[in-house]
Amino acid sequence: MTAFLATVVVGIGTYLSRGIFILALARKNIPETVLVTLQFVAPAVLGALVVALLIDDSGVVAIGMPEVVALAAGGAVAYKTRNHILTLVVGLVIFWLVRALV
């Protein structure tokens, strides 16, 4: 199987897995408990991304100056704005800048 074919198959599978839920729930009322639970998806994904960034392949925590500064900046933005996208963008930009300078 070529890389292109694998990419197409995974893309179709992803599209179908998302599309099925959208079509199935289009005319349904979603319970309030589900809506409240869905509010925690973005912070959970952001936490998973942070953990993946801080752990190397052998499972050892690998934190340097760029990671610490980016986490502090991202944490401050998250605390102040409660905006997940802005938090991610600021954290990434600070990480890249500090890594380029150090």
Q: Tell whether 21 and 54 lie within a shared domain.
A: no
Confidence of residue 89 (pLDDT cuts 50, 70, 90): very high
User: What is the DSSP code (8-state) at residue 18?
Assistant: H
Each residue's pLDDT tens digit, 1-15: 689 999 999 999 999
pLDDT given for residue 90 in this prediction: 96
What is the signed CA dihedral for 41, 36, 23, 18, rounded to 10 degrees? 10
Q: Tell whether 10 and 50 lie within a shared domain.
A: no
Instruction: For residue 56, give the nearest of 69, 46, 67, 45 by alpha carbon.
Output: 67
Q: Tell whether 37 and 16 lie within a shared domain.
A: no
Q: Tell whether 40 and 86 lie within a shared domain.
A: yes
Whether pTM exceeds 0.75: no
State the amino acid at position 38 in one-letter form: L
Domains in the chain, number: 2
Residue 61 contacts residue 54 (beta carbons within 8 Å): yes
Question: Can you tell me whether residue 55 is helix, strand or coil?
Answer: strand
